[in-house]
């Protein structure tokens, strides 16, 4: 049997391809290959391209209104390398406990599984991780003699739910972490994919203790093919992470091109990409309202690339996946995001990479597949995303 063609790929979190700045990057590449030829003949090592570290320090500093020292930024091969390196730096033994969101980014979950970390999931609501559940979990773990090595948090435009943790909850999470002496790894690749509303502060803005770690990326504001990410960490934590690194540094050419492109800040390009993504977010939400209001509920993210959809319990999930694929629709099922691989009635729609027409055509097809995969016609029995 031939594999059906995917015409509506809501699968992966990528930005809009039509806004990829080909000409500007070409010009930047020509310039930096000539100007930085000497550095390109060497191994970059250590922290990586100084210009890109300055540009990313400026990006983070301007958004948060604090000074970021570029010498505390280490460039990585995408933020995925940063996810793995930081976990390795904080891990002492196989089986070490870490706290994660109940639904989280599969790349991180898989990396932690390979490192044999014991993940404990914190329940989510519309404001991200529930602090009451975190508090209860930490107390229970403490009784068992298990103190987590770190808390991994995607607090801003969370993957997969799109939720944005309010400032007070961030402060409460920081207080709890301080009470138990646990570092927070904040993974913040979506903060600049912002559509409306308040920009919530990063952990490093609210708490300047040097044990916290921050991960950033260029994948969502520029393109994942650059494989550029970074860790912002202060000594001695930075040295601990650097000591885990044995790859002679990250891609210097990619970093040099991005540094040239962003030498006057990231806002000019974000001003081009965000309105395009905002429109696609709106079309996705409009399509869902028209097609699925009576049986489903979903998140309404004010930034990022994802909508998290809750379906009725009686949807036969394997059947839905087969029907959707056969109809040319791809999405990621809820099970991919659950820290313990629990199969739950959710799916994630990533809207950034499709055209507007694909979104408008794809949502009704997906909706028909959901209805077809049900065993009843009962209306929705829930009003919120989580019980």
Ligand X SMILES: Cc1ncc(COP(=O)(O)O)c(C=O)c1O
How far apart are CB 187 and ligand X at their closest, in Å? 5
**Residue in 203, 164, 200 with CA at minimum distance from that of residue 183:** 203
| Closer Cβ to ligand X, 101 or 291, answer by number | 101
From residue 50, give the alpha-carbon distance in Å to each of 68, 91, 176, 188, 263. 14, 29, 35, 21, 12
CB 352 within 8 A of CB 190: no
The interface with ligand X within residues 138-157 (CB under 6 A) comprises 154
User: Which of these, 361, 351, 383, lies nearest to 16 by C-alpha position?
Assistant: 351
Min dist. Cβ of residue 302 to ligand X (A): 17
Chain positions 271 to 330 lying near ligand X, rule: CB under 6 A, are none
Distance (Å, whole) CA 320 – CA 368: 10
The total number of residues shown for the chain amounts to 387
Query: Is the CB of 304 or the CB of 362 nearer to ligand X?
Result: 304
**CB-nearer residue toward ligand X: 13 or 201:** 13
What one-character-per-residue DSSP string does 62-91 give?
A: HHHTS---GGGEEEEEHHHHHHHHHHHHH-
> To the nearest whole angstrom, how small is the minimum distance from the Cβ of residue 154 to ligand X?
5
Residue 73: strand pairing partners: 232
Q: Nearer Cβ to ligand X, position 321 or 337?
A: 337
Tell me if 159 contacts ligand X by CB under 6 A.
Answer: yes
- The one among 48, 78, 162, 201 contacting ligand X by CB under 6 A: 78
Minimum CB–partner distance for residue 304 and ligand X (Å): 9
- Rounded to a whole number of angstroms, the minimum distance from the CB of residue 186 to ligand X is 10
Min dist CB 336 to ligand X, Å, is 12
Contact of 376 with 314, CB cutoff 8 Å: yes
d(CA 254, CA 264): 17
- CB closer to ligand X out of 160 and 312: 160
Q: Contact with ligand X (CB under 6 A): which of 102, 187, 192, 200?
A: 187
CA distances 269 to 50, 138, 265, 266, 346, Å, are 21, 42, 9, 6, 33
Stretch of 78-86, 163-171, 240-248, 263-271 lying at the interface with ligand X (CB under 6 A): 78-86
Residue 64, φ and ψ in degrees, nearest 5: -95, -15
Name the one range near ligand X by CB under 6 A: 79-87, 162-170, 173-181, 275-283. Answer: 79-87
Applying CB under 6 A, what is the total number of residues that bind ligand X? 15
Measure the CA–CA gap between 1 and 103, rounded to whole angstroms. Answer: 34
Residue 189, interface with ligand X (CB under 6 A)?
yes
Residues 99-128 that bind ligand X (CB under 6 A): 105, 107
Closest by Cα among 237, 227, 236 to 81: 227
Cα angle for residues 177, 104, 293 (degrees, 5° grid)? 120
Give least dist CB 29 to ligand X, A: 20
Of 187 and 207, nearer to ligand X (C-beta) is 187
* Pairwise CA distance, residues 173 & 237, whole Å: 20
Q: Minimum Å distance from CB 99 to ligand X?
A: 15
The interface with ligand X within residues 199-228 (CB under 6 A) comprises: 217, 219, 224
CB of 123 to ligand X, least distance (A): 18
Interaction between residue 231 and ligand X (CB under 6 A): no
Residue nearest to ligand X (CB): 78
Residues within the interface to ligand X (CB under 6 A):
13, 78-80, 83, 105, 107, 154, 159, 187, 189, 217, 219, 224, 229
């Amino acid at each position: 049997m031939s594999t059906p063609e995917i015409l509506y790929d809501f699968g992966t979190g990528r930005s809009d391809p039509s806004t990829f700045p080909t000409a500007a990057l070409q010009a930047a590449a020509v310039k930096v290959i000539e100007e930085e030829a000497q550095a390109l003949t060497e191994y970059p090592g250590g922290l990586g391209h100084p210009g890109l570290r300055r540009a990313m320090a400026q990006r983070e500093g301007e958004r948060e209104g604090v000074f970021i020292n570029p010498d505390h930024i280490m460039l990585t091969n995408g933020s995925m390398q940063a996810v793995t390196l930081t976990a390795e730096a904080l891990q002492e033994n196989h089986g070490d406990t870490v706290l994660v969101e109940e639904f989280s980014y599969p790349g991180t979950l898989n990396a932690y599984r390979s490192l044999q970390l014991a993940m404990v999931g914190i329940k989510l609501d519309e404001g991200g991780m529930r602090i009451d559940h975190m508090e209860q979990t930490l107390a229970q773990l403490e009784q068992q003699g298990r103190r987590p090595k770190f808390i991994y948090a995607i607090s801003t435009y969370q993957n997969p739910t799109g939720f944005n943790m309010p400032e007070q909850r961030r402060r409460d999470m920081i207080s709890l972490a301080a009470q138990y002496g646990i570092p927070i790894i904040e993974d913040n690749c979506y903060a600049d994919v912002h559509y409306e509303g308040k920009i919530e502060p990063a952990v490093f803005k609210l708490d300047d203790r040097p044990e916290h770690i921050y991960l950033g990326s260029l994948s969502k504001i520029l393109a994942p093919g650059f494989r550029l990410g970074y860790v912002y960490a202060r000594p001695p934590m930075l040295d601990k992470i650097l000591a885990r690194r044995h790859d002679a540094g990250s891609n210097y050419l990619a970093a040099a091109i991005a540094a040239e492109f962003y030498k006057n800040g990231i806002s000019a390009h974000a001003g081009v990409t965000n309105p395009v993504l905002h429109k696609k977010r709106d079309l996705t939400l409009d399509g869902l309202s028209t097609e699925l209001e009576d049986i489903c509920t979903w998140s309404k993210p004010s930034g990022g690339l994802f909508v998290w959809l809750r379906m009725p319990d009686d949807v036969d999930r394997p059947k839905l996946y087969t029907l959707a694929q056969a109809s040319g629709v791809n999405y990621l099922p809820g099970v991919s995001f659950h820290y313990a691989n629990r199969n739950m009635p959710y799916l994630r729609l990533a809207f950034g990479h499709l055209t507007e027409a694909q979104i408008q055509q794809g949502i009704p097809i997906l909706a028909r597949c959901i209805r077809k995969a049900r065993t009843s016609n009962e209306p929705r029995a829930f009003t919120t995303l989580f019980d």
